[in-house]
Structure 1
Amino acid sequence: MRTLIHLQNASSFVTGYFPGEPRSFGVAHNTRVFDAEATATASRDMGAAHYNSGAAAPGAFVYTELQLSVPFEEAPWQARNAALKMLPGLQNKVWLSGLQTRTLGGFDAFDTLDNALDFALNLFPETAAELGCAFYTRVFDASVTEAASRAMNSPYYTGGGA
């Protein structure tokens, strides 16, 4: 029952409330809804700030999405986690699985903007090529959003990181 309520809330947000915000600024937008239950085990294994306390404050974030429609439980997340744990500067990862689309992706926290950029520009495209699919990435400088994230009690800043 709780999951159904969360899905209804997410759906209402992306179809009702949210479209008015960018419209008021005269800009286009896109929205996505992800299945958090399907990815919980994989995210916990990657030390995701949403499931674990004590994460260090990030220097940058990378959003990734693969245009690959596969149920998350059939995705090679265990092998990906092993490889991701070897990445320079990766602090933690929240896995994402598109609700209804089954796209795979994640929200990755890195210690520095340089390490995040190297991943997004050099390493992640290689992963997409190996899987034979298109991809999308965005890199965010965490210092720009830190104050707002702290004000919203982001788990990236409440776990003891400075």
Structure 2
Amino acid sequence: MPTAEATRDGRRYEILDGRLLVTGPQPPAHHAAVIALLVQLKHACPPDLLVTVGSRAFRPTPTTTLRPDLMVSQRNAPVTEPPVLAVEVISPTTRTTDVVLKRTLYETHRIPSYWLLDPTTQELTLLTLTPTGYTCEAVLQAEESFKTTVPFPLTLTPGNLCG
């Protein structure tokens, strides 16, 4: 059985409490947004952190393996340590999984920052973990820009990522 990774069939496989979650192939706009954000994150990333796309999983428990669209983690961190940032790029087929299920899982497993990028609406939502759960730091539309310091200094503009 596949672990949490993209396979040649274009699907992504994750394990949630021992159950297999399969995400089908994504549209070109999804891939373009992932690549645009990857380039921006890698350009600003300090050397002690690592930006990955699908090549690294987060395994918070023996029965759970999660693979965000993008992830920023400590360079030498074990896969059981939460990444500092998880990003999901929303597509029509993943909206509920990303907005509800993944948000709950990432919050439960204490991922400090969770971003949701919707290429269809050119919207970026930045969530920050607090002692009581995720709090919305910003919701950006199209050409709006926002300067964040988490996980490192970066200016984000959804229109530049989704155009």
TM-score when scaled to structure 1?
A: 0.29
Q: Which has the higher strand share?
A: 2
TM-score when scaled to structure 2?
A: 0.29
Q: Which has the higher helix share?
A: 1
Higher relative contact order (CA 8 A, sep 6+): 1
